[in-house]
Structure 1
Amino acid sequence: MAAFTPWITPLHQTWQEVSLTGWTTLYEGIPAHIDCLGPLLYELFQEHWAEIQVGHVAEGGVLELAFKKPPALCVLYDGYLTVATETWHLHLCLEEHQGGPHRKTPPELRRKRLVSRAALYRRLNPQGQPRMWGIQFWNGAEEPLLQIFLPSPFLGPEEDYLPEGKADYQKLSLYERICAIYVQGKERIPYEDNPLKRPYLAVCRSSRCYPSRNYQPVVEALESALREANLDVQVITSGCLEVCQQGPVVFYSGDCTWYKRVTPQVARQIVFEHLLNGCPLKDHLFPGD
């Protein structure tokens, strides 16, 4: 994998679509690789969550979801970005989805699910005036996926239209920032690495393979061992990790390793033998030999 660079190479791609009602959408291409989309989405969801909405637009239906507080989870697992709130969550395929430890996703489906195109957009009314701003994603089959709705200077805090002549154009600063960094390449990405590629350990809390769901001792053992080893690795809990047997299950994102039958003692071994010394625990790997 190429080293991360905080500067985007612009695509210099623009195009437009005109609707039957006379509205025009102007698009500017954003590179769709993980080292561009990862920092972009992480920054939006972690630092600008209060300013944005996410959803999907199709003829006959619109879905818009807002954040009431910072996401409880924003991680990359098996190719999918997962962003979770207390009441809803989303998934967006940013790298090829392998299909869990058995790699069961067919190659053609991996390519179809993957975000293949992304663009910053402005939507103009029939009079040619910009009225909506956002980001659109498409999959490998050129089907529209998620949209991120950016702040509009014409809307107040309660999503009501501001009086004529009272537009707050400072709200366009986020759109302009994204354009300068991820479209034009005039400003650097505000991270020294890709935040979505930072390693983490996930402990499955699903009752399917671990009915007692007594996963907290494993979490505590991992956290304690990481402090002792002075390793900067996050520990999270998650839903199903696609193993569904022989829990407790632990996933290490650094090299996409799944572990089965993880006790607190095994958890410490994972940290000191695998993460610190590069020697995976063969007896607990899933799938095993």
Structure 2
Amino acid sequence: MGDDATERSTERNLDGTTTEYFDVPKAEETYRELVRALFEDHWDAIDFGPCLQGAVFELRFASKPRVGYLDGYFTIGPDEPGAWHFHLCVGAHKGTKARPTPPELARWRQCARAAFYRDLDASGRPRSWGLRLWNGRNEQMMTVFFPNPWLNAERTKPVKEPDWSRLALWMDLRARFAGVPPEPAPVDDARRPQMCG
């Protein structure tokens, strides 16, 4: 899906950390395929939710979620009646005949950017891997957290020695959707990064 023209950017954060971004080429079909890959194929390996300064949601499914798509929106949630769910707009959104969505509002709601990211601590050591989605006004819609070499398999506790194989999913999906080839694991740096800023 990805190509060699993948946009890469670096953002310096106020706490001295750095975030590297690897953009997914903007295309509705690509975004739909990416969301389906995450929530239909890899739902048990990810945590997800809004990640804003002052509020981080780390949600996960206990069983395979139900994934539906209508009028540009995914509806994703547990496969049980009346359960919580969320809506995520990644495609063209028109509304109904009786209540059409104004084009400006449709552009605002729709995902306008998706990028894989890697967070580095103030010393430049990688500490977190994920994917972020932004809407047409550059407001963050969702962050997806991938398995982390510095956390146990259950993603609940830090480990002393990193398990770099936990980056396989992030590397595979980043290669598939952003066109960035997998990188070798850091061999000489088993120093634990500062995990939270």
TM-score band by shorter chain is 0.7 to 0.9
1:15 aligns with 2:12: no
CA RMSD of aligned residues (A): 1.8
1:184 is matched by which residue type in structure 2?
Answer: G
State the 1:88 CA deviation: 2.6
Q: 1:10, CA displacement in angstroms?
A: 4.4
| 2:91 paired with 1:60 | no
Report the counterpart of residue 172 of structure 1 in structure 2.
167
- Structure 2 residue aligned with 1:96: 92
2:131 counterpart (131, 135, 139): 135
1:71-110 Cα deviation digits (max 9, x unpaired): 0x21211110111114431211111221124352111100
Name the counterpart of 1:30: 24
- 5+ residue gaps, structure 1: 1-6, 188-289
Rounded to whole Å, the distance in 2 between the matches of 1:11 and 1:90 is 32
Contact 1:33 1:94 in 2 (8 A): no
TM-score using structure 1 length: 0.58
Kept in 1: contact 2:6–2:180 (CA 8 A)? no
Q: Is the 8 A contact 2:147 2:155 kept in 1?
A: no
Task: Give matches, 1:265-284, under 5 Å.
Answer: none
Q: 1:70 to 1:186 in 2, by over 3 A?
A: same
1:198-217 deviation digits (Å, cap 9, x = unpaired)? xxxxxxxxxxxxxxxxxxxx
Q: Percent of pairs identical after alignment?
A: 35
Contact 2:171 2:181 survives alignment (8 Å): no
Q: Which one scores higher on RCO, CA 8 angstroms, separation ≥ 6?
A: 2
Aligned with 1:43 (options 37, 43, 47) = 37
The aligned counterpart of 1:161 is: 158
Q: Is the 8 A contact 1:15 1:26 kept in 2?
A: yes
Unaligned runs of 5+ in 2: 183-197
Give the secondary-structure state (helix, strand or coil) at the position aligned to 1:110: helix
- What residue identity is the alignment partner of 2:60? A
Q: How far apart are the structure 2 equivalents of 1:23 and 1:63?
A: 20
Q: What is aligned with 1:238?
A: none
Task: Kindly indicate whether the alpha-carbon contact (under 8 Å) linking 1:16 and 1:25 is maintained by their aligned counterparts in 2.
Answer: yes
- For the residue of structure 2 that corresponds to 1:135, the secondary structure is strand
Question: 1:11, 1:118 → 2: CA distance?
Answer: 15
Q: 1:182 aligns with which of 172, 177, 184?
A: 177
1:185–1:14 Cα change, 3 Å: closer
Larger Rg: 1
Paired residue total = 178
Change (3 A) 1:170 1:185: closer
Does 1:117 find its partner at 2:108?
no
| Distance (Å, rounded) in 2 between the aligned partners of 1:10 and 1:83 | 31
Q: 1:75 aligns with which of 58, 68, 73?
A: 68
The whole-number CA distance in structure 1 between the counterparts of 2:4 and 2:92 is 23
Q: Structure 2 length as normaliser, TM-score?
A: 0.84
Q: In 2, Cα distance between the equivalents of 1:11 and 1:63?
A: 32
Tell me the secondary structure at the aligned position of residue 176 of structure 1.
helix
In the TM superposition, residue 185 of structure 1 has moved relative to its aligned partner by 6.8
Report the Cα offset of residue 114 of structure 1: 0.7
Matched, 1:145 2:138: no
In structure 1, what is the Cα distance between the partners aligned to 2:89 and 2:33? Answer: 15
- Superposition deviation, residue 150 in structure 1: 0.7
